[in-house]
Structure 1
Amino acid sequence: MRFTEHEMTVAVDTVARRLHAATRPPWRRGDAVAAYDGLERMKKWRLKVTAGEVVLPVLTALPERPTVGAKPEFTEAELTAAAQTAGRDVMEHRKPGAWDAMPAKRRDRVLATAVELTRVAVDGMPVRQDPDALIVPDHL
């Protein structure tokens, strides 16, 4: 599916925030959002790179959904098929035969993780705007 640059950026940032909150030690006090905002730029960048490596190939493999005024919605089967296609392509690009050589349990965990993170990314995206109804602000 084709997403705008802004939608992809928001999606990757949302997943990076979720990854930071998930990897934070449970005994840490304070808000996870404030902790993420207080991170150094390099640490945020590393989280975003990790999130992007997982989520961006799956997002581009999703079927086209021209939704305007709402967030796109995908079924579990569509998300799983996109994650499988993207995972196979990425693994085969790095090392031919790596996807088929991976044990079935590990492959299932990789797919489940990619599907869940993609769901988080799509849920975090802003409402889609009509690209044909370009609105130019008065101050420009």
Structure 2
Amino acid sequence: MRFTEHELTVALTAAAKPVAAAQKRGLRKGRQDPDAVWSEMTGYERYQVLDALGGQLLPALVALPDVEVATGTRPEFTDAQVLAAVEETLGDAPGGRMRRKVVVAARVAVLRAALAGLPPRSDPDTLQVPDSL
């Protein structure tokens, strides 16, 4: 699937927020808002999360099949398409079958979070530039 740089950035950030919230120790004691956790992090901490996820998530996003996306909507993928993209980009995961299943399930969940955070597709021909430029 072809995504714009902006779409990839937004998708990666959308997936990174719940991952960062899950990594905080206080999560086990009580639910924390992923947006609040993200805003409290330093720039370097955000970079570390984005860097770790980028190597796993971006190849899977690119491996998704091309689908027609109407202006104003988000791309939609079936569970089979998402699973196939993750398995295609996973390669040889260390460990046995059970570990691979866990890794695949985790990456599918992160990919779903990224896809849910994608902004609606806009038509570049109808974009309006503000007069102040």
| Superposition TM-score tier, normalisation by shorter sequence | 0.7 to 0.9
Unaligned runs of 5+ in 2: none
Letter in 1 for 2:45: K
Letter in 2 for 1:138: D
Contact 2:12 2:53 in 1 (8 A): yes
Aligned to 1:65: 67
For residues 119 and 31 of structure 1, do their structure 2 counterparts lie closer, same or farther at Cα, with a shift above 3 Å needed? Answer: closer
1:37 aligns with 2:39: yes
Shift of 1:133: 3.1
Unaligned runs of 5+ in 1: 89-98
Q: TM-score, normalised by structure 2?
A: 0.87
Alignment of 1:1-140 (within 5 A): 1-25=1-25, 26-27=28-29, 31-67=33-69, 68-88=71-91, 99=92, 102-140=95-133
Letter in 1 for 2:58: L
Identity of aligned residues (%): 38
Q: CA RMSD in A?
A: 2.0
For residues 46 and 133 of structure 1, do their structure 2 counterparts lie closer, same or farther at Cα, with a shift above 3 Å needed? Answer: same
Number of equivalenced pairs: 130
Deviation readout 1:66-119 (Å, 9 max, x if unpaired): 31210111100000000011112xxxxxxxxxx177411111111111111000
Shift of 1:28: 6.5
Shift of 1:64: 0.7
